Amino acid sequence: DQQVKQNSPSLSVQEGRISILNCDYTNSMFDYFLWYKKYPAEGPTFLISISSIKDKNEDGRFTVFLNKSAKHLSLHIVPSQPGDSAVYFCAASYSSASKIIFGSGTRLSIRP
Amino acid sequence: GAGVSQTPSNKVTEKGKYVELRCDPISGHTALYWYRQSLGQGPEFLIYFQGTGAADDSGLPNDRFFAVRPEGSVSTLKIQRTERGDSAVYLCASSLTLGEDSPLHFGNGTRLTVT
């Protein structure tokens, strides 16, 4: 069963506009959420995270929002830049088990 | 500084053969993870180590898969009697400790192809 779901396999956004990537989860025990970014032929790199005690975390152009009641989180990138074109993975874990569960990813393309 | 290093970067083997995949974590990182990524999917958890011991091996698909980390640094993922379904990119990651303030740092992976 897929505990972390990214239902949009791809997203295309114009440069300078906002990119919104969505993620849903099913396990209510998850208390820590992360976003990773992946370029071709490279491993994923950590982007931003949020603890379940918060509903928003911001780092420069990147903001993650968490809606625990809906078991939903989103990553906002604004303004979008060409270098943001990559695959974005949503991931989750819970404190009593340190393994991190990943979603299937969303391929973001920033068009000029 | 040096990141997580995985060797080989590519491995082609015949069905039924044995393979070993190596991971050199970032120096000083106590936690080490193995993931597997198939085409169009996200990384799938296999096993993680805290120090020398496997803290959680619940993701290993079957007993053909085994991983070791004898000195708490380098780890080797071992696959016996390989099958075509084992073809994937095997990712290794390390973190300074366990927990929220210690994100995973991934290597570039080993692409395993079983013919």
Q: Quick check: B49 and B69 in contact, CB under 8 A? A: yes
Using an 8 Å CB-CB cutoff, list residues of chain B that contact chain A.
4, 31, 33, 35, 40-45, 48, 50, 55-56, 58-59, 91, 93, 98-100, 103-109
Cross-chain residue pair A44–B45, CB shorter than 8 Å: no
Cα–Cα nearest to A31, from A4, A53, A61: A53
Supply the pLDDT for residue A96.
60
Closest chain A residue by Cα to residue B104: A46
Return per-residue pLDDT of chain A as tens, 112 residues: 689 999 999 999 999 999 999 999 999 999 999 999 999 989 999 999 999 999 999 999 999 999 999 999 999 999 999 999 999 999 999 876 678 999 999 999 999 9
Instruction: Show residues of chain B in contact with A4, CB under 8 Å.
Output: 42
Cα(B39)–Cα(B18) distance, integer angstroms? 22
Instruction: Show residues of chain A in contact with B40, CB under 8 Å.
Output: 9, 104
Q: What are phi and psi of B90, to 5 degrees?
A: -100, 120
Supply the pLDDT for residue B99.
72
Supply the pLDDT for residue B1.
56
Cα–Cα nearest to B105, from B35, B56, B37, B47: B35
Contact A48/B at CB under 8 A:
no
CB-nearest to A42 from B41, B42, B108 is B108
What is the number of alpha carbons within 13 Å of residue B30 lying toward its C-beta? 10
Percent helix, strand and coil across chain A, each to the nearest 5: 5, 60, 40
Mutate to test the interface with A, among B34, B45, B50 (most CBs of A within 10 A): B45
DSSP secondary structure code for residue B52 in this structure: T
Please classify residue B50 by burial: count the beta carbons closer than 10 Å to its beta carbon, then call 0-12 exposed, 13-18 middle and 19+ buried. Answer: middle
Supply the pLDDT for residue A2.
82
Percent helix, strand and coil across chain B, each to the nearest 5: 5, 50, 50
pLDDT (tens digit per residue) in B60-106:
999 999 999 999 899 999 999 999 999 999 999 999 877 777 889 99
Supply the pLDDT for residue B101.
74
